[in-house]
Structure 1
Amino acid sequence: MARDFIITKEHRRFKEFATAVRKDKTIGICHGEAGVGKTLSARRYAHWDEVGTFVDEWGPRTEDDAKVHATAHRCRTIFYTPEVLPRHKQIMTDIQHLQMRVGSCVDEHLRAIGKVTGIRVGDVTKLVELVIIDEAERLTPTALELLRDEHDRHELAIIFIGMPGIDQRFRHYPQLYSRLGFSHNYRSLGRDELLFVLERQWRRLGATLDMDDFTDAQAVGLMQRRVTA
């Protein structure tokens, strides 16, 4: 997916938002309609196609691992999607598991460049600075409270991603809502940017987008209506 990713204005806005949340060690909300690109941007920011696959397939080490360690060090971010009807204890266990593995990757990189030496001391989960949680509507009030407590105790930056209205839902949880530092509305592509993306997708398929062709123009019109609906 990384090879086919097209950097749009909205992705740049998301990147600025995520960096601000991480830098300020606060909590942020990203909301937008289904299909606008929230999840893709979040996975891209966390380099999750590379780092996530690596930590999921935890196993024998190779010389290529150093590249993943360096990437994990640069982003220091995990991406997590809770299950439908999740148990709050399982959510925290899953997140801590990812923090431990990504933190270990960061630690390995720091050792490789000489910034850390000797026996590993301390909690490597603290090397993870940002947790991005997709499909945040699935979280129970108890899970939200546990995550808020994790933020308070460890100054862990958290981004919740969800559909429009999730920011209003969080108003019902004053302790969490009072800690929100940023709210980001991930908007649909405008017509010019939509054409920019489609032209490149057509090209990858070995075709040419011709707006003078009724079929192509009709397809573009349909896509525009779907992303702005």
Structure 2
Amino acid sequence: MCHGRPGVGKTRSAREFSSFPDLGEYAALRPIAALLGEKVARCRAVFYTVSVSNTPKTIDAVLGLNLIKLGYARLTVAGGSQDEITHDAARIACPLVIVDEADRLTIKSLEHLRDMADRHGFGLILMGMPGLEKRLARYAQLYSRIGFVHEFKPLTETEMRLLLATHAGDFGISFDPAQLDAVEAQAAVIRITRGNFRLMERLFAQMRRIMTLNRVEEVTADIVQAARDCLVIGPGN
């Protein structure tokens, strides 16, 4: 089980780790395209986002179908053909499922996921907001199966400085360590975002917009503050 505040990178980390490909156009027992085959070979897990209105039926319609599709695709890539691949073999060919927005799951949906994990034999990671672990503690059959709980924490100041140095350029922004204004601007970004990755992206987008409108290339603390004033930032950020 993984939990953390909004914006700390839970979903992005899970998507990056799982490398789950889009299987919308793939049909089981049909030849698999070379590009999709490469993506399937890199895939580590099925990534599933819980819908706001969820039932065991909707979970089967999306997650259950993706499990079967990925199973057939994995076995096809591994064996080189679709020959002799059975439905039962495809059902258990996926080793891991990552469920995002697990806070939305109803009691019946949680029980259904537990039953699917037991029947299909896959590992299950539930991801959600802080408090998810306390909610699941009320369901002994599910909680007794949880191996560990991991908390996604905001980035530290050191991590933020490294991120700003390596990825600020993706937004057309640079912090020159030799310029006092840039150093002050970097400190302002760290103070405002407090290690929240999503908030940092939103702040950078506003900073770039303000710099473009004012035809400014050098970032300053005033630009950071002006960008911050354009955003709605809750007390938890």
Question: Do they fold alike, i.e. is TM over 0.5?
Answer: yes
C-alpha separation in 2, matches of 1:153 and 1:58: 24
Alignment of 1:46-125 (within 5 A): 46-48=18-20, 51=21, 53=22, 55-58=23-26, 61-72=32-43, 75=44, 77-112=45-80, 118-123=83-88, 124-125=90-91
Tell me which residue corresponds to 1:158.
124
Runs of 4+ more than 4 Å apart:
225-229
Tell me the distance in 2 between the aligned counterparts of 1:108 and 1:130: 18
RMSD: 2.2
How far apart are residue 117 of structure 1 and its match? 7.8
Alignment gaps of 5+ in structure 2:
198-235
Give distance in 2, aligned partners of 1:90 and 1:117.
Answer: 28
- 1:92-136 Cα deviation digits (max 9, x unpaired): 231110101111110111112xxx884223420210111110000
The residue aligned with 2:194 is 224
Q: Which residue of 1 aligns with 2:16?
A: 44
Q: Do the aligned partners of 2:48 and 2:63 also contact (CA within 8 Å) in 1?
A: yes
Given that 1:46 and 1:79 are in contact with CA atoms closer than 8 Å, whether structure 2 keeps it comes out as: yes
Larger deviation, residues 128-137 vs 86-95: 86-95
- Alpha carbons 2:54, 2:109 under 8 Å: kept: no
> Residue 224 and residue 71 in structure 1: after superposition, are their counterparts in 2 closer, same or farther (change >3 A)?
same
Mean Cα deviation higher: 203-212 or 97-106 = 203-212
TM score, norm. by length of structure 1: 0.75
Aligned-pair CA distance for 1:206: 4.2
Of the candidates 156, 161, 167, which is equivalent to residue 201 of structure 1?
167
Q: Which has more helix, going by share of residues?
A: 1
CA deviation after TM superposition for structure 1 residue 148, in Å: 1.3
Take 2:150 and 2:118, find their aligned partners in 1: how far apart are those partners?
Answer: 22
Q: Quick check: 182-191 or 61-70, which moved more?
A: 61-70
Count of residues in Structure 1 that have an aligned counterpart in Structure 2: 191
User: Which residue does the alignment assign to 1:12?
Assistant: none
**CA–CA separation in structure 2 for the residues paired with 1:206 and 1:149:** 48
Q: How many Å apart are 1:226 and its aligned residue?
A: 5.1
Choose between structure 1 and 2 for higher RCO, CA contacts under 8 A separated by at least 6 residues. 1
Q: Secondary structure at the match of 1:119?
A: coil
Q: Deviations over 1:15-49 (max 9, x none)?
A: xxxxxxxxxxxxxx10111100111111111103x
Pick from 104, 122, 126 the counterpart of residue 138 of structure 1. Answer: 104
Change (3 A) 1:218 1:92: same
Letter in 2 for 1:64: L
> What is the Cα deviation at residue 137 of structure 1?
0.6
2:145 maps to which residue?
179
Amino acid aligned to 2:12: L
TM-score for the superposition, normalised by structure 2: 0.73
Q: 1:145-172 deviations in whole A, cap 9, x for unaligned?
A: 1111222233321110000010000011
